[in-house]
Amino acid sequence: MLTTKLIQKNKNKTNRFLGAKITKIMREMIREHHTEAMDGNSAAAHIAYALSDTSFIYPITPSSAMGEHIDHFSAKKKKNIFGEQVTVQLMQSEGGAAGAVHGALAAGALTSTYTSSQGLLLMVPNMFKMSSALMPAVMHVAARAIIGHIGSMFCDHSDVMHVRSTGWSLLSSNNQQEVMDLALVAHLAALESSIPFLHFFDGFRTSHGISKINVIDYDDIKKLVDMKYVDRFHSVAFNPEHPSMRGTPVGDDAYFQWHTAPLKYFQAVPEIVEKVMKRVGDSTGRYYNLFEYFGAPDAEDVIVMMGSSSDTAQEAVDYINDKGGKVGLIKVRLYRPFSATHFLKTLPKTVRRITVLDRVREYGAFAQPLYLDVNAVIREPRSGFNPNIEEIVPGIYGLGGKDLTPGMAIAAFENMKKKEPKRNFSVGIVDDVTNTHLAYNFEPDLVPKGTKQCLFWGLGSDGTVGANKEAIAIIGENTDLNAQGYFMFDAKKSGGLTFSHLRFGPKKITSQYDIRHADYLAFHNPSFIARYPQVINKIKDNATFVINTPAETWEELDKQMPDIMKGVIAKKNVRLFVIDAEKLADQLGLRGRINMIMQTVFFKLSEVIPFDKAIKYLKDSIVKNYKKQGEAVVNKNIAMVDIAVSNVKEIHYPKAKWAELYKEDFKMPTEIDPNAPENVKKYIFPAMRLEAANLPVSAFPVNGQSMTSTSKYEKRGIATKLPIWKPENCTQCNICSFVCPHAAIRPFILDHDEKSRKPEGYQTIESNVAEYKKLGYQFRVQVSPYDCLSCELCVKQCPANALDFENADKSIMEKEKKNWEFSQKIKNKADLLKSATVATSQYKQPLLEFSGACAGCGQTPYLKLITQLYGDRAMIANATGCSIIWGGHYPSFPYTVNDKGHGPSWGNSLFEDNAEYGYGMVKAMIHRRNQLATHVKKALDSYEISDPVERYTFEEWLLNKDLAKESQEFGDKIKKVISSKKVLNSPSLEHISKNLDILTKPSHWIIGGDGWAYDIGFGGLDHILAQEEDYNVLVFDNAFYANTGFQMSKATPRGAQAKFAMAGKDTKAKDLGLMAMQYGHIYIATVAMGANYNQFLKAIKEAEAYPGPSLIIAYCPCIGHGIKTGMCTTQQQQKLAVEHGLWNLWRFNPALKLQGKNPLILDSKKPKKLLLDFLKMEVRFAALYQTHPKEAEAMHNKLEEEVKEKYETLVGLSKMYEKHYKRK
């Protein structure tokens, strides 16, 4: 690609040589566009909006932001190049979006959509229809790994390669500027060729990475559109005034010919794309070709690849050639149709060896797709190409987002020169199983000289990532510096790790990999010091290191820092600064939101931009970004900027003393708990230390089946405050434990022996539970300090003020750690209890603990209680969404086991099929247990079981196998009988012995969010609810797609602002409960535990006991709601939602019909409080008054009428049932 001051010297040649002369006339023809710091999704959306009439969208990471931008533009009534506001519609799934795109095109609307990964696969059937029908759709794809036995939200090309046979043209962009330019090429070429285009770029690395680019103005785009092609498109659209038909079935006599009829259109695509690229280049000064060559004109070794990592490979090419090498690189831009003619023209005639790097692995294939294309083209006898080519080597890189570094590219060049190069190799991993990997030991620093590299470690929701994006925008748009930003996240929600990689410099930055040599390093949480000291190895000599910590002296840091970190700091002469940002933010009423403080410190210490200007720009951005949250929030953030500089302090550490601690061989201990099982040490602990990238293939299970109970080893230690128990106030209600999202605070019951061994300061009081009191047992509430997230829910919900919220200094953390470790040795005594109340349920061990959920999460307390009651026999089918991220992401698995080793069995299939997946489990277990019952009956009938006591046991199991408690009781006895027999002398007894683990009736739970249940998975959910087997469905209703970034779902209330509904959702929320009630045989409950703990507990018990399908719909406050009182009040917010009428509590129990009773029980009273008062408490509603005040008022008034009507409907239904069953 050429800059805006360069143009191709010869339009028929590929871009082998930079530096072509440009005439004065051509310079004047090239328009200088405005520059902007922009990510790839924004660039694609900018172009797509310009050239679309309609857009159908559905969220999936990492492409969701494209649809969000399109919706945002439309909400602002922005005009496309045709002078129209684009019509945007959210669909229920990607398959639905593809169908709508197909229909819109058929009716004559230029249409676009956006997707990734599994979402793209759902579109495949329609893609075949659109391509052969010559419909000029455009789809922009942020490429992402396809989910198989494991899943990843990061990039490879498995999704895109899967659709290469659909007939769509596939166009690849490598960076944000190319996304801007080639998105335009895709739209123009689709229109001119009548062939649909899939324009793709790497997910996260390009889609979310930010760089300073030239933005193409809509006026320039309009000049490039030839309206005759638009008219041609309209002329073939469906219209009853000139009717036609499409999609007709044909017989074998005509199919082949008709299938061949459009072939010439596909054959014409390469030439059309080439011409469009030339026109776009003439307009922008940036020229592209179908295949782009970089390197020596007489290269002997060439790599062929596509995607963002080709920019990295180009760095390696320049490095090798600067040292006298003869190597080159071909970047593939138009992958489909694959033009052999253009490819061969691009390849130097001198080439002897070629390596083709694919970012995909197709199990069972001879090699990967791009290699097969390249090999076929070159080996084609009539190609006439260099017959002296010695090798065409296939290789794989970058699966699941793993970086390709310059060192890896160099290794690929070195491999192909070997006498016997490794074929089908992998680079970037250690494959010690099939031995495919390329070893490499050399990693040159090829980032352009003069580039300042800044690395920030933060926590999700502390604002670090957002602030760094703003920093790039400020620097990129107010200086001549080039800017690049890339952001990584672990899978946890708020409170998870975030990593921001920022580069600024005078030269173009093409380094598409993480920072390895930082000029500025910032730890935005003090826990990172002890947990991740190896990060200090990424810092340069004389660099700056800033830590958010309460420590103010080198002596304090000396106690906290591992020796290896101190050694590197001193050895590299690092300047060390500290600031207690957490304390400052807390003082200003923005606890946890430290972003503006740390960003101000960055601008002060990094000196990337004059500090006074930086502060002005930063304050302007605060007003722009926070105004919808109100003036108070804006002022608090500005105050944080003002107080930051005076509170940052440089630490003058004892350099000589610390330097003595330096070690060349820097290794982190891999063990976190020396008593952990070996497989935990093998592949869990290194990942918890963020060193999973170094693990070999042999460390991982082959089929994706993972152990449970690993979250307890993580001990994140990110709490800033801890709840400390005050026994003198405690009523033993256990609400603190009941509401804790992470099971980090629990009650414990001590017997006399345990009481005698308790550590000093471990206070207890007499238990007030009858079963425990009569035995003289003691009671204690204890927090796990390194698992607590300081959400404060327990403190806020405690009715007796029995918890103090104290600063989590080191002494308190260590004291409570010892107390927790002792508590974990206390024997669980819940089996002594007769029944489970809200209070006594908490004596049961939670089998969901220390999850990755947000602090204050509204989902996990529901499922935690279910695991306490039924977790030892639970089988969970979990829809994709928040709950699989906090519940099932490697390496921290929060589902755990009891002292018998029993606990939830958990699985995830897809977003769209979770109901069917769970139902399959149900049917399988019914079949297997019926089969087991048959063998039990045979064993009884044949008197293979002859002992009267044993026969009674088997007979009782057979009678009660579908009852939970009884099947478990008699099942345990059968296990003892079978184990006592030395010889199993019949097929039936042998079958029973092999299936002892299914004697207990399982508790089936099919769980997921409203995006699954109300939208993409509704068809499957509806189908299984129509059946009558025994299982339970739990829906986490937080009223939008939380996992992908808070996009609207059909559960979103009218008048709420969400992504994909920036002008407010102006349709009624779907009522899943009332819809399901029409079947009549489903147990249904809508619950909000904070509104009524007992109602929720009762609903769970009734649902699990009901011998048929049950549906629990749980109201889940979420960080995306923007609760103005914070996530510490999520339980209170549930109560307010019910009191103001937004949510109702009710149960529908069909079992009551058999008793002649009303099955519909209303558990919440008629709302007496104004709904509007509640709406003002949440940003999702209140923000609409800032952006669309008239619409907000109208929608909220209508919402008020709807909630009143909903309650009246429930009352009417209840009266109807009451009357019916009273009469009956």
Tell me how crowded residue 1148 is: count the other CB atoms within 10 A of its CB.
25
The span from the CA of 606 to the CA of 540, in Å, is: 14
Rg (CA), the chain: 32
The span from the CA of 482 to the CA of 510, in Å, is: 10
The span from the CA of 650 to the CA of 648, in Å, is: 7
Question: Looking at residue 61, what DSSP letter applies?
Answer: T
CA distances from residue 924 to 577, 970, 1029 in whole angstroms, order as listed = 60, 22, 12
CA distances from residue 145 to 138, 155, 669 in whole angstroms, order as listed = 21, 5, 31
Question: Looking at residue 733, what DSSP letter applies?
Answer: -
| Cβ proximity of 651 and 557 under 8 Å | yes
| Cβ proximity of 1009 and 1037 under 8 Å | yes
Encoded tokens for 313: 């490979």
CA distances from residue 1125 to 625, 793, 1128 in whole angstroms, order as listed = 19, 12, 7
User: Judging by beta carbons within 10 Å of its beta carbon (0-12, 13-18, 19+), is residue 431 exposed, middle or buried?
Assistant: middle
Strands 778-783 and 745-750: antiparallel
To which residue do tokens 């434990």 refer?
A: 737
Q: Is 736 annotated as a binding residue?
A: yes
Q: Is 454 annotated as a binding residue?
A: no
CA distances from residue 809 to 277, 746, 762 in whole angstroms, order as listed = 61, 21, 18
CA atoms within 13 A on the CB side of 488: 19
State whether the Cα torsion 836-838-844-847 is positive or negative. positive
Encoded tokens for 197: 């285009």
| Cβ proximity of 451 and 509 under 8 Å | yes
Mention every residue, 6+ apart, whose C-beta is less than 8 A from residue 1186. Answer: 627, 628
Encoded tokens for 976: 């003892």
Mention every residue, 6+ apart, whose C-beta is less than 8 A from residue 58. Answer: 67, 90, 91, 92, 93, 94, 96, 97, 115, 119, 1016
To which residue do tokens 């990039």 refer?
A: 155
End-to-end CA distance of the chain: 81
Backbone φ and ψ for 56, nearest 5 degrees, come out as -115, 130
The span from the CA of 4 to the CA of 2, in Å, is: 7
| Cβ proximity of 126 and 102 under 8 Å | yes
| Cβ proximity of 395 and 355 under 8 Å | yes
Q: To 10 degrees, what angle do helices 309-322 and 406-416 make?
A: 60
The span from the CA of 115 to the CA of 1205, in Å, is: 38
The span from the CA of 197 to the CA of 273, in Å, is: 11
Encoded tokens for 346: 């691009």
Give the active site residues.
61, 94, 144, 1043
Give the closest residue to 419 by CA, choosing from 390, 396, 440, 441. Answer: 390
| Cβ proximity of 723 and 794 under 8 Å | yes
To which residue do tokens 């790994």 refer?
A: 145
To which residue do tokens 């923000």 refer?
A: 1183
Encoded tokens for 1048: 């609207």
The span from the CA of 1091 to the CA of 904, in Å, is: 27
The span from the CA of 217 to the CA of 723, in Å, is: 55
Q: Is 882 annotated as a binding residue?
A: yes
Task: List the binding residues for [4Fe-4S] cluster.
Answer: 730, 733, 736, 740, 788, 791, 794, 798, 854, 857, 882, 1118
